Amino acid sequence: MGPLHELLDQSSLFLQQLVNGITLGGVYALIAVGYTMVYGVIQLINFAHGEIYMLGAFLAYTMVTVLHLPFFVAFILTILLCSCFGILLDFIAYRPLRQAPRLAALITAIGMSIFLQNLALMIWGSQIKSFPRELLPAVFSRPALVLGEITVSWLQIFILTITVLFMAILHFIIHRTQVGTAMRAISHDKVTSALMGIGVNRVISFTFAVGSAMGGMAGILVGLYYNAIFPTMGYIAGIKAFAAAVLGGIGNVPGAMLGGGVLGIAEVLGAGYISSEYRDGISYAVMIAVILFKPSGLIGKPTGDKV
Amino acid sequence: MKKGYLGFFVSLFLLAGTAWGDAIKIPVASPFTGQLASFGEGVKNGALLKGSEINASGGIRGRKVKIVLEDELCDPKEAATVATKLANDPAVSIVVGHLCSSATLAALPIYRAAKLPAISPASTNVSIGKMSPFYFRNVYKDDFQGLFLAKYAHFVKGYKKVAIFYEVNDYSMGLMLAFMKEAKKLGIKILGTEAYTADTTDFKPQLTKFKMMKPDAIFIPGYAPQGTLIVSQAVSLGIRNAGFFGADGLDDDLMLKNPDAEGLFVTTPFLPDKAGPRAAGFIRAYRKAYGKDPNWFAANSYDAVGLAAAAITAVGQDRVKIRDYLASINTREKAYEGVAGKTYFDKNGDCLKDAFVKEIRGGKWVSAQKQLRQ
């Protein structure tokens, strides 16, 4: 093998890893947005968000395998159901504690996370489930683009398209609609917003619905991408996405997208080039490094007393 | 099948009941509930079948045998609790167990201190035998398994370049080292080794590296839950011409649900259709009692109970005498003839047994056409 070959191999290895990293980053971003929106509005780190993501994967799996719904129907139904779960979660667990100290809501969030995880364990069992390939659109298992040694699959393209599309929709909602304006108002000052006639609880419910929809969607996409659905999948993904949200600047939606992307690429390149045993360590190290030098995150605004 | 199962237990209970007072207890310790319950089921079925057969043919020295199941969940802490209980029970003269190497390693010092002999039907970790003169096993060790796989990869499959994807634990790393040692002798080139931890679901970064190396095969010395993901993610990355293989850790029906795993092969200590004539009766009785073929856990625990019974028949219920009896089975001529081959022990209480290869064809485990004889 000549040096030119070597160089080509090395660069295609890098590009392939980059494609893997961007896909993973897109998924992290989808979950991170849910954390960051809820935090922005009610300053709560919703630790049960990872479980919504897990439920999304399981619901779609059940709809496809048990109810034999076409994949895209299951995809949309799951997203709607996850929105409802998000609203329900807020209604049952967080709304009664709105005036309580923030620590109480945080502990409730952890409790809900454990509850939902065990509920899934009871319903679906601990074994890893995968979508049966014959029930998925055939195009998912086909490569979309083969350039020498680089393969981009239709599934990767689907994941990235969905991610970008929904981020754009989200951006539009936050900045161009009435409810988005209300969300931004509440994130500045809940009490004053209420005095101005904004239905605070309704807007918070809406925030949970949107965040949970994105989380559930990420769950389905990851379940497809890695072929693995299991009750504890939300835990690690949740922590990673939380890290992504913090990395970008918690409470900041574009920050969550950027954070997700950086974290995904750092993780994959770390696993590919440094050490696959310490891949999680590497991604957290990146996060810590950013927070050390820029405590408000990559594009977060410094705030006085939020954290 | 369910009915037969129930009837079997009822009859076993009645058999045990007739001679309750002076039955000889043989405890069998394994995970019977929890994550690895499916592994323990084979152990339970095999042991109970052997127990009822011994009783049907008159018991040991005219006394009935009672198989006592001890559930330890494959948890070292539980295993130590069970071991302490058994060690302090004067009616217990030998133990069959444990299944997981980590459980065996936790129970081992307790049995050693109580001079209580034990036979593990399934723990393959290399260091067990050396640590106690009271521990025996009728299963091969991981160093043998790794060596055997290297030979099979070389002589039968003709692999020249292999990449290894291992899990960070004693079982997986022991297998990898044994494989690499033999591969070096045989001239198989190890293109690279990559690691993962048990909670990983994304194997693509490491597999992408493997893809560039163009291996003939990828060796996965891990467990099935991760193994199946590794195989399908490799295929989705476009690794199409490489074979996949592993050791007994991948020997799980979970692999069969994965269409990409077609052609994957693993080592196993027992195959129903490759076992000798001795096994025919066992396989028939097993099918009748449980409605399915015995797996290797069942065959090995059937043999382990048989060995324990043979020892008690020969020397009675004295713990040290039983230990000495087992240790004296040290040549091929003196071997215990079981359904999973001959068992005889080296000075550590480890044994040398044949390994077999089975592979996935048409979504089922089948015996590989070419087996490798030692």
Domain ranges of chain B: 2-140+274-343, 143-268+356-367
Residue A302: predicted pLDDT: 60
Same fold, B2-140+274-343 and B143-268+356-367: yes
Q: Are B208 and A16 within 8 A, CB to CB? A: yes
What residue in A sits closest to B230 (Cα-Cα)? A226
Q: What confidence tens digit (pLDDT) does each residue in B350-365 have? A: 998 888 999 999 999 9
Q: Are A12 and B212 within 8 A, CB to CB? A: yes
- Are the CB atoms for B106 and B77 separated by under 8 Å? yes
Tell me the two tokens of residue B363.
């979504």
Measured in angstroms, the CA of A154 and the nearest CA of chain B are apart by 10
- pLDDT for residue B188 is more than 70: yes
Give the Cα separation of B343 and B299 in Å (integer). Answer: 12
Residue A306: predicted pLDDT: 42
pTM of the model: 0.78
Residue B3: predicted pLDDT: 46
- pLDDT for residue B253 is more than 90: no
- pLDDT for residue B38 is more than 90: no
Express as a percent the part of chain B with pLDDT over 90: 66
Q: Are A17 and B197 within 8 A, CB to CB? A: no
Measured in angstroms, the CA of B61 and the nearest CA of chain A are apart by 45
- Selecting from A12, A141, A277 the residue whose C-beta is nearest the C-beta of B197 gives A277
For an interface test with B, give the residue of A16, A53, A240, A276 to mutate (most B CBs within 10 A).
A276
**B143-268+356-367 is classed in which CATH architecture?**
3-Layer(aba) Sandwich (3.40)
- pLDDT for residue B109 is more than 70: yes
- Selecting from A128, A149, A236 the residue whose C-beta is nearest the C-beta of B225 gives A128
Task: Return the minimum-mean-pLDDT range out of A100-114, A136-150, B12-26.
Answer: B12-26
Residue B5: predicted pLDDT: 54
- pLDDT for residue B227 is more than 90: yes
- Residues in chain A with CB shorter than 8 Å from the CB of B202 are 24, 226
Specify the amino acid at residue B193: T
Is any Cβ of chain A less than 8 angstroms from the Cβ of B19? no
Give the Cα separation of B29 and B78 in Å (integer). Answer: 10
Outline where DSSP puts E strands in chain B.
24-30, 65-71, 95-97, 118-120, 135-137, 161-167, 189-196, 217-220, 243-246, 265-268, 336-338, 341-343, 356-361, 364-367
What is the value of ipTM here, to two decimals? 0.78
Q: Indicate the pLDDT class of residue B21, thresholds 50, 70 and 90.
A: low
Q: What confidence tens digit (pLDDT) does each residue in B296-341 have? A: 999 999 999 999 999 999 999 999 999 999 999 999 999 999 999 8
Q: Are A24 and B202 within 8 A, CB to CB? A: yes
A232: phi then psi, degrees, rounded to nearest 5: -95, 10
Give the Cα separation of B224 and B249 in Å (integer). Answer: 6
- pLDDT for residue B16 is more than 90: no
What is the mean pLDDT of the segment spanning A134-142? 81
Residue A217: predicted pLDDT: 94
Residue B168: predicted pLDDT: 85
Q: Are A24 and B257 within 8 A, CB to CB? A: no
Give the Cα separation of A60 and B199 in Å (integer). Answer: 22
B19 class by beta-carbon count within 10 Å (0-12 exposed, 13-18 middle, 19+ buried): middle
- Selecting from A151, A226, A233 the residue whose C-beta is nearest the C-beta of B238 gives A151
Q: Are A276 and B259 within 8 A, CB to CB? A: no
Q: What confidence tens digit (pLDDT) does each residue in A231-290 have? A: 889 988 888 888 888 888 887 888 888 999 999 999 888 888 887 778 888 878 888 888
Task: Return the minimum-mean-pLDDT range out of A65-74, A280-289, B98-107.
Answer: A280-289
Q: Indicate the pLDDT class of residue A191, thresholds 50, 70 and 90.
A: confident
Q: Is B339 helix (H, G, I), strand (E, B) or coil?
A: coil
What is the residue whose two structure tokens read 């239709």?
Answer: A154
CATH 3.40.50.2300 is the classification of domain B2-140+274-343: yes
What is the residue whose two structure tokens read 């089921």?
Answer: B41
Is any Cβ of chain A less than 8 angstroms from the Cβ of B331? no
- Are the CB atoms for B128 and B342 separated by under 8 Å? no
- Selecting from A13, A20, A269 the residue whose C-beta is nearest the C-beta of B204 gives A20
Burial profile A36-53: b = 16 or more Cβ within 10 angstroms, e = fewer:
bbbbbbbbbbbbbbbbbb
Give the Cα separation of A253 and A255 in Å (integer). Answer: 5
- Are the CB atoms for B36 and B77 separated by under 8 Å? no
Express as a percent the part of chain A with pLDDT over 90: 38
Question: HSE of B185 in the Cβ direction (CA atoms, 13 Å)?
Answer: 10
Is any Cβ of chain B less than 8 angstroms from the Cβ of A16? yes
Express as a percent the part of chain A with pLDDT over 70: 96
Residue B246: predicted pLDDT: 95
Is any Cβ of chain B less than 8 angstroms from the Cβ of A133? yes
- pLDDT for residue A43 is more than 90: no
Residue A210: predicted pLDDT: 94
- Residues in chain B with CB shorter than 8 Å from the CB of A141 are 236
Question: Cis peptide leading into A49, omega within 30 of 0?
Answer: no
